[in-house]
Structure 1
Amino acid sequence: MTYRLPVAALAALSLWAATSCGASDTAPDTGETEVGVAGWGDGLVDHQAGYRLSEVRAEGARADRIRFELESGQAQVGELTSWYWSADLRYFERAAARPTRDGGWEAVFPEGLGGPGHLVVAFDTGEDEVGDLVLGTDLVAPAAQRRPTEVPVADGDVQKVGTYDVALSGDLLLAQPSTLMLSVTSAGTQVEYDEAEVAAVSIASGAFVRFETGPDGTFSGTPSSPGRFRLKVDLTVAGQPVHALFERTAFG
C-alpha cells in the first residue's frame, strides 16, 4: 500500500535523514556526547566510546527480524533493548535483543513494516566510566506483506486503550532532565501495572530519548534537540501488553 505525506512531514523527514546520516559519518568515538538521564547518546550515531553498531540488516518474510553486531566489548554486554521506527513514524516498536550463536544479536519485533526506518539499541556496557550507551543507524527493510496495526496518537495527555485510560503528563525541557508522570486507570479506578518503558523520538531530527524509571510512576530523560517528539509507552497490565502514543514539544 502506498500513501502520501504532507509537505511539512516530508521536510521533517529530509531534515532527519540529513542529520542522522551526517552524524554517523563524523561523530567521534570518544563518547563525548551530551549525557542523558538514561545513558550516553541519542541514537543518531552508530559508534561511540569504542562501541560500534554494524552489520545491521532486516530478515524474515515480514521484515520483523533485525540482526546486528556490536563491535568492541561485546562480551561485557548481557542485555540489549532496541527500538525501530519507520521514516514516517507510523510504526514505532520496542523489542528485546537476544544474542545469536554466531556472536551477533537479533531483535524480533511484533510486526514488520518494510521500507526506510531507524534502529536504536540501548545497553549497559558494564564499564563505570562509560555506563549506558544508545547507538543507532538507518535501515531499509524489505517490503512487508501487510501493513502493521497503527496505534493512534493520543489527543492530549490521555489515551484510551481497551478498558484502560493511559495518562502521561509533564513537559519536555530541551537539554535538561525532564520528568513525566505515568498512570493507568480503568472506569475511574487506579490500576497497577507490572512494568513500563517510555521512549521518545524527535519528529524532525530523529534524536532518541530513553526515559529512566523513577519513583511513584515517574520517568526521566533528556531531549537533545528542540521541537516535537513522538512518545511511546509500553506497559504490561495484568500480564497483557498495553501500548500508547503521545506527542510533546521540547522547549527551553
Structure 2
Amino acid sequence: MTYRALAAALGTLSLWAATSCGGSGTSSDTGETKVGVAGWGDGLVDHQAGYRLADIRAEGGRAGRIRFELESGRTDIAELTSWYWSADLRYVERAVAQPTRDGAWEASFPDIPGGPGHLVVAFDSGDEEIGDLVLGSDLVTPRAKHRSSEAPVSDGDVQKVGAYDVTLSGDLLLAQPSTLTLTVSSAGTQVEYAEAEIAAISIASGAFARFEAEPDGTFSGTPSSPGRFRLVVDVLVAEQPLHAVFERTAFG
C-alpha cells in the first residue's frame, strides 16, 4: 500500500484531529493546504498551486540519483531541497537538488536500497501569497546489488554520530506549531554548527513537515497527522555533515 492510500485511509482521523486542535488550514475536499499559508503542502501530492512534479526517474545503488521535472512555467527557483525515504523508513536521506542543462532537477542519494519509496521536494515559490511549497510522489527505485546500511533511530533526545552528540529536545504538537531545540556537543562541550535542516515524516501516512530555523536558534514546524514521526536532522559541523534520526509522537 502506498503512502497516498494510507493517507486516504487516515483522512477522517486526521481531519478530526486538526479540527479539534485548531485547524491546520487544509481543505477536506482536495487534501491541499489553502493558498496564503507559508510552507504549505505535506508532500503527499505531486501538485500544488500550479506546480507539479513530473517525469521522475530513479537510479539505485551506491551513487543513487533521482531526476525530476518541476512543471510551473517559472524558471527562477534558486534552491530546491529534497528528501527520499524507503517505504519502511529504514532509509531516509536529504539532498540539495541541482538544475540540469535540459531544465530538469537531479538529486544524489547515496546507497539507495531500491524498491518502493517516496520523494519530497521543498522550495520557495517566489510568490508571497504562496510562500514555500512541498510536493511529493511515490516511486520505485531499481534494486541495489548490495544492502544499504540502516540509520539508527533514537527514542530519546540524544543520538551519537561519530565523535558528536546530537541533541533534539521539544515535543510535537498535532496540527499546532511545535518548537524543537537542536544542540551539538563533543566530549561534553557544546559546539557551533554552520547550518541545519530538520524534517518530520509521519510513520503512518508519510505526511511531511519541514521545521524552519527561528531567530532564537530554535526550529518551528507543524505536524499535520497524528501518531509517530521520524525526525530527520542534517547538520553541518566543522564542514562535516552529521545525520541523525529521532522518533517522537505528535499529540494534541
Give your verdict on TM over 0.5: yes
Does 2:63 match 1:76?
A: no
SS at 1:19's partner residue?
Answer: helix
Please say which of residues 130-139 and 70-79 is displaced more in the overlay: 70-79
SS in 1 for 2:5: helix
Matching residue's letter, 1:16: Y
User: Gaps spanning 5+ residues in structure 1: where?
Assistant: 1-13
**In the aligned structure 2, how far is the partner of 1:236 from the partner of 1:133?**
24
Match of 1:102 in 2: 102
Using the size of structure 1 for normalisation, the TM-score is 0.86
Q: Which residue of 2 aligns with 1:32?
A: 34
Number of equivalenced pairs = 235
Tell me by how many angstroms 1:162 deviates: 1.5
Q: Is the 8 A contact 2:3 2:138 kept in 1?
A: no
**Match among 18, 31, 35 for residue 5 of structure 2:** 18
1:173 is the counterpart of 2:173 = yes
Give the conservation status (yes or no) of the 8 Å contact 1:172–1:251: yes
Structure 2, unpaired ranges of 5+: 12-27
Q: Which residue of 1 aligns with 2:23?
A: none
Runs of 4+ in 1 over 3 A off after TM superposition: 14-17, 19-23, 26-31, 60-63
> How many Å apart are 1:188 and its aligned residue?
1.3
TM normalised by structure 2 equals 0.86
Describe the SS at the equivalent of 2:193.
coil
Q: CA deviation at 1:150?
A: 1.8
DSSP-derived class of the 1:119 partner: strand
Q: Is the 8 A contact 1:29 1:48 kept in 2?
A: no
Q: For 1:41 and 1:17, locate their aligned partners in 2 and report how far apart those are by CA, in whole Å.
A: 14
Q: Does 1:130 align with 2:130?
A: yes
Corresponding position of 1:226: 226
- Root-mean-square deviation (CA, aligned residues, Å) is 2.3
- TM-aligned CA deviation for residue 217 of structure 1: 3.1
What is the CA-CA distance between 1:15 and the residue it aligns to?
Answer: 7.4
* In 1: Cα distance, 2:2 partner to 2:108 partner: 28
TM-superposed deviation, 1:199: 0.6
